[in-house]
Structure 1
């Protein structure tokens, strides 16, 4: 894996003060972010959220998912408690924005997120977490308190030798638009909801 890194810059937000560093995977051309609290280097086992990019949720406020709510919850919590958010930029479980919108159209016809991806010719989840290992090594992260519901993220982090001292659920309110989506994540993908 060939990675180009940015310098670290200050990132004041409405949630609190952070620092930010970008990582560009020169093979996939995807750019990912590490968002850390100013005291990050002094924390033995930081709180960590690996947040998968969701433009429609994070930026546009889509009610079809819980992504924006999870990101805001993590930013508020980590700003207070200290830690790291990795903004993992693999839109739509790494099928890209155009295909994600096509999957949305299939979901409008009654398909769940997994069946929509499969009908478009993708696996149910195309994400590749290898850049997470690179970021953890770069930031000297060996043990964490992980904020997630996703068993794949837990298993990947354990597989790279990072110790998870605690798992903190990332539970947000459901609504009539995302209830089917969340039920699919729980029943078909094993999410810990």
Structure 2
């Protein structure tokens, strides 16, 4: 029996995913999370084969969930769900080691295929657009990595935009306050920003948080 963990902060989305997964007699939903921190805790507790996680999750986004699971040596594949077609988002996912990426609009048709691929050890990226972006990324990997915020910097920016202090961010991400300050400064330098308000506007624009 394959165990699937579902993480999304909207009940209607979790319900739809639960129905699709439950249609398979050899799969079981091992837990449901409403934020990234809870997703990590449930993954540690239930040890699922697959974690389906919304990119735009409170506290920890989907990429940070994947990073944390790898750090904790949880042997599971992560399938990111998102509403947004974004070259930057795909690149960030690949940098975070994620091998499954699916638009929410495609979930009804492609979720089972995506899970089957990951269970078989194969990556799954939906749509011709994503295949094109993946090819472009692989051709320009170093340049893209230098241009983008790291996954950890993105997570720090998200948490700042959610109103967290450096000290609370350090507790959530299990980092020292000094390291959080370093990531914050690095993100602001890359984005050429000088205030928290600018970071919040960036986070809203990039869909890291809801307006």
Q: Verify same fold: TM over 0.5.
A: no
The structure with the largest helix share of the pair is 2
Larger proportion of strand: 1
